[in-house]
Amino acid sequence: DGGITQSPKYLFRKEGQNVTLSCEQNLNHDAMYWYRQDPGQGLRLIYYSQIVNDFQKGDIAEGYSVSREKKESFPLTVTSAQKNPTAFYLCASRERRTSSYNSPLHFGNGTRLTVT
Amino acid sequence: GQQVMQIPQYQHVQEGEDFTTYCNSSTTLSNIQWYKQRPGGHPVFLIQLVKSGEVKKQKRLTFQFGEAKKNSSLHITATQTTDVGTYFCAVTPNFGNEKLTFGTGTRLTIIP
């Protein structure tokens, strides 16, 4: 089955450590996204990538970094510079827009990161 | 950046009552999508609206896009316990940009 895999489901880290969250998709989608969700809150866009070797900052990119070396993979690194890293992180992908129609986002199951 | 507000933030309804959430944008939209996130889950795509004044229905759910393409609504008729979750609208800027911004969401709880 095609889909998006995020691993691990739960991740615990000590403050001051960088941590990388994995996101892999086999849907052949060009565009990939990282969102952050805090308890009871909406989704805030961290970074997105429209094509391999290219990515753009979202609304809350500070303290995060990404890479897009392969179409299937879009890992997110939460650096020690991120002041409040504890959150639920969601990765998503979709086909690129070709008209006024937007393809729907397909989400992974998310990674819950806890930093103490 | 894109401002997308949803109201209300929370809604508690008796089972069988209707529910409506509204999505308002500060700018004219090319289209709008709606997603549902069950507790503990990830958002799942429901529908997309593209045309001014467009109305689409999915069983008990009715989606509407405003005439000015700056607002949208989702109405659920006769809610059921399976409707529990948070409903988000999501918008993109002009064509050619893949950025997708989510609204603040409306959390629906059902009182049996």
Interface touch A107/B43, C-beta < 8 Å? yes
Contacts of A51 in chain B (CB under 8 A): none
Cβ–Cβ contact A5 with B under 8 A:
no
Q: Which residues contact A25 (CB under 8 A, 6 or more apart)?
A: A2, A3, A4, A5, A32, A72, A73, A74, A91, A93, A106, A108
Residue B72 has pLDDT above 90, yes or no: yes
- List strands edge to edge, sheet with A76-78: A4-7, A19-25, A76-78, A64-66
Contacts of A94 in chain B (CB under 8 A): 98
A44: which 2 tokens?
């805030």
Under DSSP, is residue B105 helix (H, G, I), strand (E, B) or coil?
Answer: coil
What is the mean pLDDT, run by run of 10 residues, along chain A of 116 residues?
87 93 95 92 92 94 97 96 94 80 90 95
> By CA distance, what is A31's nearest residue in B?
B98
d(CA A116, CA A24): 27
Nearest by CB to residue B31, choosing from A33, A50, A102, is A102
**Residue B92 pLDDT:** 82
**Residue A78 pLDDT:** 96
**Residue A99 pLDDT:** 65
Under DSSP, is residue B82 helix (H, G, I), strand (E, B) or coil?
Answer: helix
d(CA B67, CA A6): 39
* Residue pointed to by tokens 């060009």: A30
What value does the mean pLDDT of chain B take? 93
**Residue B44 pLDDT:** 97
Residue B75 has pLDDT above 80, yes or no: yes
Cβ–Cβ contact A98 with B under 8 A:
no
Interface touch B92/A102, C-beta < 8 Å? yes
Contacts of A106 in chain B (CB under 8 A): 45
Q: Encode pLDDT of B86-98 as tens digits.
A: 999 999 876 566 7
* Residue B83, φ and ψ in degrees, nearest 5: -85, -5
CA distances from A109 to A4, A90, A98, A106 (A): 8, 7, 27, 10
Interface touch A102/B48, C-beta < 8 Å? yes
HSE of B33, CA atoms in CB hemisphere, 13 A = 21
Of A113, A110, A106, A111, nearest in space to A32 by CA: A106
Of A88, A76, A87, A61, nearest in space to A18 by CA: A76
Q: Which of A100, A106, A112 best tests the B interface by mutation, with the highest count of B CBs <10 A? A: A100
